[in-house]
Amino acid sequence: MTTMSDVAREAGVSVMTVSNVVNGRPRVGAETRLRVLDVIAGLGYEVNLNARRLRAGRTDTVALIVPCFDHVYFGDLAARVARALEATGRHLVVEQGGATREGELAAVSLARLKMYDGVLLSVVGLDSADVDRLRTATPIVLLGERELPERFDHVSMGNVEGARLATAHMLATGSRSVVILGGAREWSPQESGMSQMRTAGWRAAHADAGREPDPRLVIEMAAPDSAEAHRAIGALVDSRVPFDGVFAVTDAVAIGVLAGLAAAGLRVPEDVQVIGFDNLNLSEFLVPALSTVDPGHLAMVDGALRLLDRRIAAGDEPVVPEHVVGPVRLVLRGSTRR
């Protein structure tokens, strides 16, 4: 079996340099790193993760469990987490929970958790009772937009405030009938899902402006994606319900809205203002560039990893759980009026 010493000898470097390359530490020059990687590939050297875990008590690997791989938001999230971990010499594994109860339970099964130092779990399919039943020694930080058991660390977006900011801007710049696309018609302060909370912010902006919103402007969606949004905005245009602003509950929804409005011959922002939520990397390159709510991506990633590292360091010692809410801000671009 090829050893780390074999790689070091062949590459003409120290064993420590090989270790730094294998562990992704940033203290190796680009040329040396490439030479070591070439030797590793040529000799077929493989890291024995089980042996490393026995020696060090860790794998330097964190898992991120997301609902799906093909949603651009979760791709952006994974990239941000991976960069943050890489800066500390660690690695990211991304698993798909499928946005179902069964898929998320399988992803956090005890056998799989043992492979990671910690887990970031984006909760969609599991309800609060399911999460509360989770019992594992592996540190877990929850990501998600609903009320979850207080015994877990939890990172979420400022949903209500972000939606309020977006809606208030359109009302203040001339829109009189602002749609919430992807909202929730049945609403109460006790509801805590993403659609319910963003609808609460939409309602709050109307209340602040002294306006009573038309209930027909709350458009529910079976799935908050671009294709469904394109269909929904087309149906709204055909219904003749007057509207001149759209708050889309995600940027993915807003993308479908922009395409649907263009197909209907409506101009953005002259006829209809549009604001999304997420500030995805691609949003500024749409036509027109999409105004959106930035939920504080970097702050949420930093917060999630801080909470996870705190639990990893604590070991079996008890830790007081924290709830981190990302700092929202409005990013104004071409899809709204100044």
| Confidence category of residue 296, pLDDT binned at 50, 70, 90 | very high
Give 278's Cβ-side CA count (13 Å radius): 23
Q: For residue range 244-262, list pLDDT tens digits in order.
A: 999 999 999 999 999 999 9
Averaged pLDDT, 137-153: 88
Domains for the chain: give ranges and CATH numbers: 4-47 (1.10.260.40), 59-157+296-327 (3.40.50.2300), 159-294 (3.40.50.2300)
Query: Is residue 65 within 8 Å of residue 97, measured between CB atoms?
Result: yes
Angle formed by the axes of helices 15-22 and 4-11, to 10°? 110
What digits encode the pLDDT tens for the residues 71-112? Answer: 889 999 999 999 999 988 889 999 888 888 878 887 776 556
From residue 44, how far is each of 21, 40, 47 by CA, in Å? Answer: 15, 6, 10
pLDDT of residue 50: 53
CA nearest neighbour of 127 among 222, 223, 191, 199: 191
- Nearest Cα neighbor of 277 from 325, 331, 206 is 331
What lies within 8 Å, CB to CB, of 128 at 6+ separation is: 146, 147, 148, 149
Question: What's the confidence (pLDDT) of residue 82?
Answer: 95
Whether residue 64 has pLDDT greater than 60 = yes
Write the CB contacts of 136 (distance below 8 Å, at least 6 apart in sequence): 108, 110, 113
* Tokens matching residue 42: 């040529």
pLDDT score of 58 more than 80? no
Structure tokens at 283: 């949003």
Q: Cα–Cα–Cα angle for 185, 215, 271, nearest 5°?
A: 115
| Confidence label for 128 from pLDDT (cuts 50, 70 and 90) | confident
Which residue carries 């791989």 as its tokens? 69
Q: Measured between alpha carbons, how far is 41 from 196 in angstroms, rounded to an integer? A: 51
Length of the chain equals 338
pLDDT of residue 197: 93
Q: Quick count: other Cβ atoms within 10 Å of Cβ 60?
A: 18
**Pairwise pLDDT comparison (44 vs 93), residue with the higher score:** 93
Q: What burial class does residue 24 get, using C-beta atoms within 10 Å of its C-beta: 0-12 exposed, 13-18 middle, 19+ buried?
A: middle
Say whether pLDDT at 53 is over 80.
no
Token pair belonging to 20:
């730094």
Position 37 confidence tier, pLDDT thresholds 50, 70, 90: confident
Residue 187 confidence class, pLDDT cut points 50, 70, 90: low
Q: What is the pLDDT of residue 45?
A: 78
Cα 315 versus chain centre, distance = 27
pTM of the model as a whole: 0.81
Three-state DSSP string of 202-270? HHHHHHHCCCCCCHHHEECCCCCCHHHHHHHHHHHHHHCCCCCEEEECCHHHHHHHHHHHHHCCCCCCC
Q: Give yes or no for residue 191 having a pLDDT over 60.
A: no
pLDDT at residue number 263: 97
pLDDT of residue 306: 97
**Mean per-residue pLDDT for 184-193?**
69
Q: What is the pLDDT of residue 183?
A: 95
Q: How do residues 159-173 score in pLDDT, each as one tens digit?
A: 999 999 999 999 999
Question: Cα(121)–Cα(324) distance, rounded to whole angstroms?
Answer: 14
Tell me which of 136 and 92 has the higher pLDDT: 92
pLDDT value at position 332? 98
pLDDT in tens, 257-293: 999 999 999 999 999 999 999 999 999 999 999 999 9
- Are 259 and 276 a contacting pair, CB within 8 Å? no
Among 38-47, 175-184, 291-300, 314-323, the least confident range: 38-47
Cβ neighbors of 72 (< 8 A, separation 6 or more) are 251, 252, 280, 282
Lowest mean pLDDT, pick from 24-28, 44-48, 58-62, 116-120 = 44-48
The pLDDT assigned to 39 comes to 87
